[in-house]
Amino acid sequence: ICLLHTVFSINVDVRIGSSSLLDRPSDTCFVWLNSEVEHPRDEQRAYRADSAVRFPFCPPRPCCSPPKTTYLPFVVCCERLSAHSIPPTMHSKLIAAATALAGCATGVVAWGAAGHEIAATIAQIYLDPSVLPTICTLLNSTSTDPTAPLCHLAPVATWADKYRNKMRWSAPLHYIGAKDDYPSRTCAFPGTHGWAGREGGNVLGGIRNVTDILEGVVPYGRRGEMSTQQYELASEALKFLIHFMGDMHMPLHLTGRDRGGNSMKVAFNGRQTNLHSLWDGLLIAKALRSVPRKYNQRLPSRKIESALRGTIYDSYVRMIMVEGVLSQWQRELPDWLACPAQSAPVSLAMPTSLGTFWQQAVYVWERVTRRSSAATDIDDALICPYYWAQPIHALNCELVWPKALDEPPYDTISAAHDGDARTYHGSDAHGRDTLAAELDQVDAAGRFTAGTPSKQHLELDTPEYSGKIMKDRVVEKLLAQAGIRLAGVLNYLFADLDDEEMMVWRSQLRVDL
């Protein structure tokens, strides 16, 4: 955007994501991430910025006047030029250029369609009934499938991936990588040199931002009190939240090495794939083929069965619930939602009592330029994505990234060494867009058949690797954690529960069979 300013000597408010130029002059060059602008009837603007990042090559000018409306994920404000003074033919060109500059990162896929939908289905089981009217309201008008049940999280769980080519600016929000992180040799989260990329522009910051948007935009979960702009913002934020919670629980989305494993070639059943694709979908597809037949039958739990939709993974969800959530991990469940104690509640919202616009500008500038620790401005006493992600990231060194990949002969043939290997997540070579396509990668016996034959890469369909993952229910536990934590966040945001009732819910997490 600032390149446009430099080359064309023009300044324009660009509303990324809405294909519209705003007729409001401004006098700065800022990127406001996940901001919210309200317009009370008296026309006095209440301005709130969850986080902001100034392009390093922008001139240090004062804050621009907030645009009339904002849409997820950010608004770019550059120098002065009324939209009416731009020739009509320039509008689309400017928007296209702005979008291209904002979206240099390539799209990224975490769990495949099955993984994201399974996590969302488990979340559905644990939603408080008082949450459903708000969920239904926010998702009803966005459903592209008229046969999909209303008020269900799973149908939109892959929305952020399906539109990733149109929303390239969102790519960094699907993952996070530390500069010092290089599993299996070194596991740093984030280490002394911090995170790669812009501060807050990652999956942890994305979860924090969209939850703050939902908390601020949806007044006590009542649709009738939201404006159209608030409703659209909340609907999109909810879909991102559902997806980001799944992304955070995929270990390879918490490391930047070799593009989260996309460049790391391995063999599975003697056929070539890559480490990211293996965790993205192959392990789940293999597990779906091995679910005991008894789980094809309905369970005596109305709570569980009401969340199932007749999909190919229904039996898998039943197995995760019966053998994992309600038995093996039952005593751990309250810890899955626990957050470390905070000395004071963390709030990213700007105080509404900050007098003049320039006082607000100073406040935001101080928030933007200060240094912060790994968890500052991300975790609080109820929602703590950084705290939750730490043991997930540790799996990269403990299990996910085999040490043999960094030893001869595989250290020279498995990785595609490129300049972005530590910090950039690229497209998944074997990513599938539908459940059927994911399952088609394996045969009825759970053997991977989609890749090309390979004898030179490290074989991971072994008792020591995939066998241990299946025996220890590693993938199933990650999916269950993603679902229960998503439910916990949504209940906190939308449920008609006071603080004491919420703590009771968190401490019990019971679903009776």
The mean per-residue pLDDT over the stretch 38-51 comes to: 30
Residue 74 identity (one-letter amino acid):
F
Spatial CA neighbour of 143 closest among 295, 271, 27, 309: 309
Residue 37 confidence (pLDDT): 32
242, pLDDT greater than 70: yes
| DSSP 8-state code for residue 322 | I
424, pLDDT greater than 70: no
- Beta-carbon contacts of 171 under 8 Å, excluding residues fewer than 6 positions away, are 103, 105, 106, 107, 108, 164, 425
Average pLDDT for the chain: 73
Percent of the chain exceeding pLDDT 70 equals 61
Contact 45, 37 (CB under 8 A): yes
Count how many Cα atoms sit within 13 Å of the Cα of residue 386 in the half-sphere of its side chain.
20
Cα–Cα distance for residue pair 398/403, rounded to 1 Å: 9
Cα–Cα distance for residue pair 178/8, rounded to 1 Å: 36
Cα angle vertex 255, ends 251, 260, to 5°?
85
Cα angle vertex 378, ends 72, 386, to 5°?
115
pLDDT digits (tens, 9 = 90+) for 68-81: 333 333 333 333 33
Q: Count Cβ atoms below 10 Å from residue 259 Cβ, excluding itself.
A: 28
Q: Which of 173-177, 246-250, 330-334, 421-425 has the lowest mean pLDDT?
A: 421-425
Residue 154 confidence (pLDDT): 95
225, pLDDT greater than 60: yes
Contact 92, 14 (CB under 8 A): no
Residue 36 confidence (pLDDT): 33
Q: Which helix (H) or strand (E) holds 388?
A: helix 385-395
- Beta-carbon contacts of 361 under 8 Å, excluding residues fewer than 6 positions away, are 62, 63
Cα–Cα distance for residue pair 24/409, rounded to 1 Å: 60
Spatial CA neighbour of 477 closest among 409, 425, 399, 371: 399
Residue 40 confidence (pLDDT): 31
The mean per-residue pLDDT over the stretch 130-149 comes to: 75
Spatial CA neighbour of 49 closest among 35, 38, 31: 35
Residue 375 confidence (pLDDT): 64
Domains of the chain plus CATH, in order, are 2-102 (no CATH), 113-340+375-508 (1.10.575.10)
Residues in the chain: 513
Widest Cα–Cα separation across the chain: 71
Cα–Cα distance for residue pair 171/184, rounded to 1 Å: 25
Cα angle vertex 348, ends 248, 358, to 5°?
140
Residue 377 confidence (pLDDT): 76
Residue 414 confidence (pLDDT): 59
Q: Which of 277-281, 352-356, 439-443 has the lowest mean pLDDT?
A: 352-356
Cα–Cα distance for residue pair 459/173, rounded to 1 Å: 31
- Beta-carbon contacts of 368 under 8 Å, excluding residues fewer than 6 positions away, are 51, 52, 53, 54
The mean per-residue pLDDT over the stretch 398-413 comes to: 92
Q: Which of 83-87, 197-201, 274-278 has the lowest mean pLDDT?
A: 83-87
Report the DSSP beta bridge partners of residue 266: 273
Contact 351, 322 (CB under 8 A): no
CA dihedral 438, 139, 149, 512 (to 10 degrees): 90
